[in-house]
A and B are shown apart, each in its own frame.
Chain A
Amino acid sequence: QQPVQSPQAVILREGEDAVINCSSSKALYSVHWYRQKHGEAPVFLMILLKGGEQKGHEKISASFNEKKQQSSLYLTASQLSYSGTYFCGTAGNKLTFGGGTRVLVKP
Protein backbone atom coordinates (compact mmCIF):
# COMPACT_ATOMS: atom_id res chain seq x y z
CA GLN A 1 0.00 0.00 0.00
CA GLN A 2 1.26 3.43 -0.97
CA PRO A 3 2.58 5.67 1.85
CA VAL A 4 0.84 9.01 2.30
CA GLN A 5 2.84 12.21 2.05
CA SER A 6 1.90 15.60 3.39
CA PRO A 7 1.72 18.35 2.48
CA GLN A 8 1.16 17.87 -1.24
CA ALA A 9 2.93 21.12 -1.98
CA VAL A 10 4.86 23.81 -0.15
CA ILE A 11 6.22 27.19 -1.20
CA LEU A 12 9.18 28.60 0.70
CA ARG A 13 11.36 31.64 0.65
CA GLU A 14 15.07 31.00 0.49
CA GLY A 15 16.36 30.40 4.00
CA GLU A 16 13.04 29.14 5.41
CA ASP A 17 12.46 25.69 6.86
CA ALA A 18 9.91 23.03 5.93
CA VAL A 19 8.86 19.58 7.03
CA ILE A 20 7.53 16.84 4.78
CA ASN A 21 5.80 13.88 6.36
CA CYS A 22 5.43 10.31 5.17
CA SER A 23 3.04 7.87 6.83
CA SER A 24 2.41 4.22 6.26
CA SER A 25 -0.35 1.89 7.39
CA LYS A 26 2.11 -1.00 7.34
CA ALA A 27 5.08 -1.70 9.57
CA LEU A 28 8.18 -0.17 8.06
CA TYR A 29 11.59 -1.74 7.70
CA SER A 30 13.03 1.41 6.24
CA VAL A 31 12.12 4.69 4.59
CA HIS A 32 13.84 6.05 1.51
CA TRP A 33 13.78 9.65 0.35
CA TYR A 34 14.30 10.83 -3.22
CA ARG A 35 14.14 14.21 -4.91
CA GLN A 36 13.08 14.72 -8.49
CA LYS A 37 13.57 17.96 -10.37
CA HIS A 38 11.22 18.72 -13.21
CA GLY A 39 11.96 16.60 -16.27
CA GLU A 40 14.77 14.74 -14.56
CA ALA A 41 15.26 11.38 -12.88
CA PRO A 42 14.69 10.92 -9.15
CA VAL A 43 17.88 11.21 -7.12
CA PHE A 44 18.51 9.34 -3.91
CA LEU A 45 18.78 11.45 -0.75
CA MET A 46 18.88 9.01 2.14
CA ILE A 47 17.70 5.79 3.71
CA LEU A 48 16.49 5.55 7.29
CA LEU A 49 16.65 2.12 8.79
CA LYS A 50 14.57 0.70 11.58
CA GLY A 51 16.54 1.31 14.73
CA GLY A 52 19.02 3.38 12.77
CA GLU A 53 20.10 6.92 13.26
CA GLN A 54 19.00 10.06 11.54
CA LYS A 55 20.91 10.67 8.36
CA GLY A 56 21.48 13.84 6.45
CA HIS A 57 22.21 15.18 3.03
CA GLU A 58 23.35 18.79 2.72
CA LYS A 59 21.07 20.62 5.15
CA ILE A 60 18.34 18.07 4.60
CA SER A 61 17.79 15.64 7.43
CA ALA A 62 15.16 13.09 8.30
CA SER A 63 13.78 11.12 11.16
CA PHE A 64 12.03 7.78 11.40
CA ASN A 65 9.44 7.00 14.06
CA GLU A 66 9.00 3.25 13.89
CA LYS A 67 6.14 3.12 16.36
CA LYS A 68 4.10 5.66 14.45
CA GLN A 69 5.24 4.25 11.10
CA GLN A 70 6.17 7.74 10.01
CA SER A 71 9.13 9.56 8.64
CA SER A 72 9.71 13.28 8.38
CA LEU A 73 12.08 15.12 6.06
CA TYR A 74 13.42 18.44 7.29
CA LEU A 75 14.52 21.10 4.83
CA THR A 76 16.57 23.56 6.86
CA ALA A 77 17.61 26.99 5.63
CA SER A 78 16.26 26.07 2.23
CA GLN A 79 18.19 26.92 -0.91
CA LEU A 80 16.89 27.45 -4.43
CA SER A 81 18.38 24.09 -5.36
CA TYR A 82 15.98 22.35 -2.98
CA SER A 83 13.09 22.94 -5.35
CA GLY A 84 11.64 19.75 -6.76
CA THR A 85 9.31 16.92 -5.85
CA TYR A 86 10.22 14.82 -2.85
CA PHE A 87 9.16 11.20 -2.70
CA CYS A 88 9.31 8.87 0.22
CA GLY A 89 9.53 5.16 -0.41
CA THR A 90 8.72 2.44 2.05
CA ALA A 91 10.43 -0.88 1.73
CA GLY A 92 8.96 -4.29 2.14
CA ASN A 93 9.76 -6.78 -0.56
CA LYS A 94 9.68 -3.86 -2.96
CA LEU A 95 9.98 -0.11 -2.68
CA THR A 96 6.62 1.67 -2.79
CA PHE A 97 6.65 5.42 -3.32
CA GLY A 98 4.29 8.01 -1.96
CA GLY A 99 2.53 10.52 -4.18
CA GLY A 100 5.21 13.15 -3.72
CA THR A 101 5.47 16.62 -2.20
CA ARG A 102 6.21 19.53 -4.52
CA VAL A 103 8.60 22.06 -3.04
CA LEU A 104 9.20 25.46 -4.57
CA VAL A 105 11.86 27.66 -3.05
CA LYS A 106 11.65 31.28 -4.13
CA PRO A 107 14.38 33.94 -3.83
Chain B
Amino acid sequence: DSGVTQTPKHLITATGQRVTLRCSPRSGDLSVYWYQQSLDQGLQFLIQYYNGEERAKGNILERFSAQQFPDLHSELNLSSLELGDSALYFCASSPGGGGPVGETQYFGPGTRLLVL
Protein backbone atom coordinates (compact mmCIF):
# COMPACT_ATOMS: atom_id res chain seq x y z
CA ASP B 1 0.00 0.00 0.00
CA SER B 2 1.60 3.22 -1.22
CA GLY B 3 -0.56 5.51 0.89
CA VAL B 4 -2.05 7.15 -2.20
CA THR B 5 -5.77 6.66 -2.61
CA GLN B 6 -7.87 7.00 -5.72
CA THR B 7 -11.61 6.91 -6.19
CA PRO B 8 -13.55 5.47 -7.80
CA LYS B 9 -11.82 2.20 -8.58
CA HIS B 10 -13.93 1.57 -11.66
CA LEU B 11 -16.03 3.90 -13.78
CA ILE B 12 -18.26 3.05 -16.70
CA THR B 13 -19.80 5.87 -18.66
CA ALA B 14 -21.01 6.81 -22.13
CA THR B 15 -19.44 8.87 -24.87
CA GLY B 16 -19.97 12.58 -24.47
CA GLN B 17 -20.21 12.41 -20.70
CA ARG B 18 -18.02 14.04 -18.06
CA VAL B 19 -16.37 12.31 -15.12
CA THR B 20 -14.20 13.31 -12.18
CA LEU B 21 -11.42 11.17 -10.78
CA ARG B 22 -10.15 11.86 -7.30
CA CYS B 23 -6.74 11.36 -5.73
CA SER B 24 -5.48 11.81 -2.20
CA PRO B 25 -1.68 11.90 -1.93
CA ARG B 26 0.43 10.35 0.78
CA SER B 27 0.48 12.32 3.98
CA GLY B 28 3.00 15.14 3.65
CA ASP B 29 3.46 14.86 -0.11
CA LEU B 30 3.02 18.13 -1.95
CA SER B 31 3.07 16.95 -5.55
CA VAL B 32 0.40 15.04 -7.39
CA TYR B 33 0.93 13.59 -10.86
CA TRP B 34 -1.67 12.17 -13.24
CA TYR B 35 -0.90 9.45 -15.78
CA GLN B 36 -2.94 7.67 -18.42
CA GLN B 37 -2.22 4.04 -19.27
CA SER B 38 -4.13 2.60 -22.21
CA LEU B 39 -4.37 -1.13 -22.79
CA ASP B 40 -0.87 -2.57 -23.12
CA GLN B 41 0.57 0.91 -23.35
CA GLY B 42 3.10 2.70 -21.27
CA LEU B 43 2.51 5.46 -18.80
CA GLN B 44 1.64 8.76 -20.41
CA PHE B 45 2.25 11.72 -18.18
CA LEU B 46 -0.66 14.14 -18.14
CA ILE B 47 -0.02 16.83 -15.56
CA GLN B 48 1.67 17.62 -12.25
CA TYR B 49 0.51 19.88 -9.43
CA TYR B 50 2.73 21.05 -6.65
CA ASN B 51 1.21 22.61 -3.56
CA GLY B 52 -1.84 23.77 -5.47
CA GLU B 53 -0.07 25.11 -8.54
CA GLU B 54 0.38 23.51 -11.93
CA ARG B 55 4.06 22.49 -12.18
CA ALA B 56 4.40 20.51 -15.39
CA LYS B 57 2.18 19.58 -18.27
CA GLY B 58 2.38 16.57 -20.54
CA ASN B 59 0.15 15.22 -23.26
CA ILE B 60 -3.07 16.31 -21.66
CA LEU B 61 -6.00 16.91 -23.98
CA GLU B 62 -7.92 20.17 -23.83
CA ARG B 63 -11.00 18.16 -22.83
CA PHE B 64 -9.14 17.15 -19.66
CA SER B 65 -8.39 19.41 -16.73
CA ALA B 66 -7.09 18.98 -13.23
CA GLN B 67 -6.71 20.89 -10.03
CA GLN B 68 -5.19 20.47 -6.62
CA PHE B 69 -7.07 21.72 -3.62
CA PRO B 70 -5.78 23.36 -0.40
CA ASP B 71 -5.92 20.00 1.40
CA LEU B 72 -3.66 18.71 -1.44
CA HIS B 73 -6.09 16.22 -2.87
CA SER B 74 -6.46 16.44 -6.62
CA GLU B 75 -9.18 15.89 -9.16
CA LEU B 76 -8.88 15.04 -12.83
CA ASN B 77 -11.87 16.07 -14.91
CA LEU B 78 -12.49 14.36 -18.22
CA SER B 79 -15.20 15.79 -20.45
CA SER B 80 -16.78 15.04 -23.81
CA LEU B 81 -15.54 11.51 -23.36
CA GLU B 82 -14.62 9.41 -26.38
CA LEU B 83 -14.13 5.67 -26.73
CA GLY B 84 -10.38 6.22 -26.91
CA ASP B 85 -10.35 7.72 -23.43
CA SER B 86 -10.93 4.27 -21.97
CA ALA B 87 -7.82 3.61 -19.92
CA LEU B 88 -6.35 3.18 -16.48
CA TYR B 89 -5.71 6.54 -14.85
CA PHE B 90 -3.08 6.63 -12.17
CA CYS B 91 -2.25 9.35 -9.78
CA ALA B 92 1.08 9.46 -8.00
CA SER B 93 2.50 11.69 -5.30
CA SER B 94 5.94 12.79 -4.19
CA PRO B 95 7.23 14.83 -1.28
CA GLY B 96 8.56 17.81 -3.22
CA GLY B 97 8.28 19.42 -6.61
CA GLY B 98 10.31 16.89 -8.55
CA GLY B 99 12.81 19.21 -10.18
CA PRO B 100 15.28 18.19 -12.90
CA VAL B 101 16.38 15.05 -11.09
CA GLY B 102 12.91 13.93 -10.20
CA GLU B 103 11.74 12.19 -7.07
CA THR B 104 10.38 8.82 -6.11
CA GLN B 105 6.73 8.77 -7.07
CA TYR B 106 4.24 6.69 -5.14
CA PHE B 107 1.41 5.46 -7.30
CA GLY B 108 -2.18 4.98 -6.31
CA PRO B 109 -4.15 1.86 -7.33
CA GLY B 110 -5.66 3.62 -10.34
CA THR B 111 -9.13 4.27 -11.71
CA ARG B 112 -10.20 2.08 -14.58
CA LEU B 113 -12.39 4.09 -16.95
CA LEU B 114 -14.50 2.43 -19.58
CA VAL B 115 -16.28 4.63 -22.10
CA LEU B 116 -19.06 2.87 -24.00
B37-75 toward A: CB 8 Å interface, digit per residue (1/0)? 000011111001000000010100000000000000000
Select from chain B the residue with minimum beta-carbon distance to A45: B104
Residue contact B101 to A49, C-beta cutoff 8 Å: yes
A47, B102: Cβ atoms closer than 8 Å: yes
**Residue A56 at the chain B interface, CB threshold 8 Å:** no
> Contact: B102 with A40, CB < 8 Å?
no
Partner-contacting stretch, out of B13-21, B77-85, B105-113? B105-113
- The tally of residues in B whose CB lies under 8 Å from a CB in A reads 24
In the bound complex, CA of A29 to CA of B103 (Å): 12
* Cα distance A63–B6 in the bound complex, in angstroms: 33
A-B contact count (CB 8 A): 62
Number of A interface residues at 8 Å Cβ cutoff, please give it.
24
Contact of A29 among B33, B102, B110 (CB under 8 A): B102
Residue from A42, A49, A91, A94 within 8 A of B58 (CB atoms): A94
At the interface, yes or no: B96 with Cβ under 8 Å from chain A? no
A43 lies within 8 A of B43 (CB): no
State in angstroms the CA–CA spacing of A2 and B43 once bound together. Answer: 10
CB pair A99–B42 under 8 Å, yes or no, is yes
- Please name all residues of chain B whose beta carbon is closer than 8 Å to the beta carbon of A43 when the two chains form the complex: 2, 107
Say yes or no: B100 contacts A40, CB within 8 Å.
Answer: no
Instruction: Tell me if B42 and A95 are in contact (CB < 8 A).
Output: no
Residue A24 at the B interface, CB < 8 A? no
Sample 21 A-B pairs with CB under 8 A, ordered by A number. Answer: A29-B100, A29-B101, A30-B101, A32-B105, A41-B107, A41-B108, A42-B43, A47-B102, A47-B104, A87-B42, A91-B98, A93-B56, A93-B99, A94-B48, A94-B56, A94-B58, A95-B105, A96-B45, A97-B45, A98-B42, A100-B42
Given contacts A41-B107, A91-B102, A94-B45, 15 further A-B contacts (CB under 8 A): A40-B109, A41-B90, A42-B43, A42-B107, A43-B107, A44-B105, A47-B104, A50-B101, A87-B42, A91-B98, A91-B101, A94-B48, A94-B98, A97-B42, A100-B42
